[in-house]
Structure 1
Amino acid sequence: MATNTFTVTGMTCGHCVSSVAEEVGKITGVQDVEVDLVAGGESRVTVTSAGDVPVDEVRAAVDEAGYELTGTPA
C-alpha cells in the first residue's frame, strides 16, 4: 500500500473537495482520497492506493475536476 500527498490550488468549498475526491478516486488502484481544504490556498490531497499512482494520472484527474495540481507527491 502507498500513500502520497499532493498540493492542489483553486479549491474553496466542500463541493470542490467532493469533485477532486471523486475524480482522483476513479484512478485504478486508488483506495481512499482525503482532502485537507485550505480555501483559496494550497489544499493537501492524500491518496492511498494499492501501489504508486502516476503523477500524470493524478494531475489529469485534478484538471478534470477543474483545479490545478501544483506540487509533487510527498
Structure 2
Amino acid sequence: MTCGHCEMAVREEVGQIAGVERIDVSAQTGRLVVTSSGPVDDAAVLAAVDEAGYAAVRV
C-alpha cells in the first residue's frame, strides 16, 4: 500500500465481513487492525485484503 486510495480499497473489502465494526489501516505503517463485535475468521480478513489487491500476514 502506498496511498489513501490503497487504504480505502482495503477498508471497503474488509468492511464487507460480517461483524466488522472498525477498520484501522495505514499505508504508512502497512498495518491493518480490525475490531469486531464477535469472532471474525482470520482467513476471511486475509482473503478480503487479497481481493483488494494486497498481501497480508497475521501477526
Tell me, yes or no, whether TM beats 0.5.
yes
Structure 1: stretches of 5+ with no match in the other structure: 1-10
CA distance in 1, matches of 2:40, 2:19: 8
| Number of residue equivalences | 59
CA RMSD of aligned residues (A): 1.2
The structure with the greater share of residues assigned to helix is 2
Find the counterpart in structure 1 of residue 48 from structure 2.
Answer: 61
Q: Aligned partners of 1:32 and 1:22: how far apart in 2?
A: 11
Aligned equivalent of 1:3: none
- Tell me which of the two structures has the higher relative contact order, counting C-alpha pairs closer than 8 angstroms and 6 or more residues apart: 1
| C-alpha distance in structure 1 between counterparts of 2:14 and 2:37, whole Å | 14
The residue that corresponds to 1:7 in the other structure is none
> Which aligned segments of 4 or more residues in structure 1 are displaced greater than 4 angstroms?
none
Partner of 1:20: 10
Q: Which runs of 5+ in 2 are unaligned?
A: none
d(CA) in 2 for partners of 1:52, 1:37: 25
The residue matched to 2:11 in structure 1 has which SS?
Answer: helix
Structure 2-normalised TM-score? 0.90
Indicate yes or no: 2:24 matched with 1:34: yes
- SS where residue 68 of structure 1 aligns? coil
**Richer in strand (by share):** 1
